[in-house]
Amino acid sequence: MCGIVCYTGEKNASKVIKKGLEKLEYRGYDSAGIATVGNPSLKVSKGEGTINQVLNKELDGNTGIGHTRWATHGKVNKTNAHPHTCSKEKIAVVHNGIIDNHEELRKELGEERFKSETDTEVIPHLIEEQLKKTDDLEKLCRNVINKLEGSYAAVAVLDTGEKIAFRKGSPLVLGVGEDEYFLTSDVTPFLEHTRKAVFLEEEDYVIIKDDYQIYNSGEKIDREVKQVDWNAEQASKKGYDHYMHKEIEEQTETVKRAAFQDRKDLQKAVKLIEEAEKVYITGCGTSSFAAELGASYLRETGTDVEVEQAHELEYRKDEISEDDLVISMSQSGETADLLSLLNKVDAETLAIVNVVGSTLDRNSRQSLYINAGPEIGVASTKAFTGQLTVLKLLQYALEDKTEEGRKELVQTSEKISETLENSRETVREASKYLSDKEDVYFIGRHRSRFVSKEASLKLKEISYIHSEAFPGGEFKHGTLALVEQGTPVIGILTGKGENDTLSNLVEAKSRGADIIGIGTEEKTGFKHFIEIPEDSNTEILETVVFQLLAYRTALNRDKDINPDRPRNLAKSVTVK
């Protein structure tokens, strides 16, 4: 869950790295650090806190490594912050992932050498030991990799200016510029410098001197240099106070982009589904709710489909045969629980993913890209509606109605800005009302129950209000006992079950609840009612309104809340 930015070139490395780390702070923000090769030695600056709090001075040198941390081993403090160095401070390392056998390696290397509680610190000490045996960096990398167990992306810089990097299970991208090279957790840190990227494969390792060379299992490898379509402006806030707000407003365009899938890719995806004995659709967090909606879409085509969150589906891995298909949902393509499941089954994988070149993308038989561009806010917004768009288009493709579906989805995208604009005042009032509440309940039926889950998740993860979601029919089977005078209950009044959901809301109101509704036709008796346009894809329009409601509620609740970086959460969950 940590972020890595490394640079070799002619510019001041610490300055380039700090700016790059700011674009990765969504991956972790409890501590940060930089190491550069200056004159005459390796220099390290690190500490607890945000990047701007910690990295407030430039270091000499044109080669360096940087890190923003999300703690997995060891307390949040300066000692445990990356980079970590070897005993003689001639090697510095940054790392994302988990070294499973770090305790055994600490004993082997000698506990007296270690300063931190982290698993990462074994890596510089391993490199130090290997340098006593060989000055062949390729051989050194192989020997270190053979010692490490777990999932990791690591970059080491030597006081000679040479840099080595290796990855297994965690993402690492090589940016190739004009006489300069980057190693980063994703492409956003180097987009203003170069759009040429090499997505390193599993167990690749890289040596950077005057040039770079990639190896795998002792063999030189020529990996394709890809042109990244994202640009630096796409990754900026564009004048908004928060990335989350920008990303909510971008959905008019991102839903439209997701609807324009390549016809051949869709046909390949359809063939995989039609030839599968059984289809499983899975994801984690927000993506799991997209999966649940996707399952409902696919069932309408007659597809035999099961849906389960990836970390739970892994316990059923023996049920999944090589004749089945797993449709895998992930924004980052690096979700550890999902990748763990896929590594344990023989079924083909169809990925619905945002990040081209991610581990999920590379390891899947076929990918459909949601084309949302960089999503910086930890709480997923445009990636979720992009996933819904691709899944709905896949339903139409299975019914041989691709163009009809595309047209409808484009029409939906064109209503998003209008829907957000028309609902702003009601959302503003409702968010003020919700901001001092401690409990909120969402209900819906049929597809709306899945939208209510996502709406509830958004509210709780960025405003820290306790929130739960239920099918409307389940609300009166226990949870109604928690309703007191003034308890907010929010209901989705669209699609199948709309009248039954309304009855559930009326019953809650009779017990003292303040009811809030969203639907295509305003109704009386509500504390607040948010009206949206009639549409064949109302779940997308409902979702964008709930995203804005969560965002505004968080800001009203506490001025110190940063919706882009909710406490205890990180964007890419790359450890189980």
Residues with catalytic function: 2, 571
CB 278, CB 285: distance < 8 Å: no
Q: What gap in Å lies between CA 115 and CA 346, rounded to an integer?
A: 43
Residue in 438, 219, 200, 507 with CA at minimum distance from that of residue 334: 200
Q: What is the DSSP string of 65-92?
A: EEEEE--SSS-SSTTTSSPEE-TTS-EE
Q: What is the DSSP string of 94-138?
A: EEEEEETTHHHHHHHH-GGG--SS-STTHHHHHHHHHHTT---HH
- Return phi, psi of residue 87, to 5°: -60, -40
Which DSSP category does 527 fall into?
S
Amino acid at site 349: T
CB 144, CB 123: distance < 8 Å: yes
Q: For strand 91-99 and strand 84-85, is the pairing parallel, antiparallel, or unpaired? A: antiparallel
- 99 forms bridges with which residues in the sheet? 150
Q: Per the structure block, which two tokens stand in for 141?
A: 């990398």
Q: How distant is the alpha carbon of residue 66 from its chain centre?
A: 20
Residue in 189, 177, 137, 173 with CA at minimum distance from that of residue 10: 177
CB 382, CB 247: distance < 8 Å: yes
Q: Which residues, including other chains, have CB under 8 Å from residue 183's CB and lie 6 or more apart?
A: 4, 5, 6, 65, 155, 163, 165, 172, 173, 174, 175, 206, 208
Sheet containing 279-282: which strands, arranged edge to edge? 305-307, 279-282, 325-330, 348-353, 366-369
- 466 forms bridges with which residues in the sheet? 439
Amino acid at site 361: D
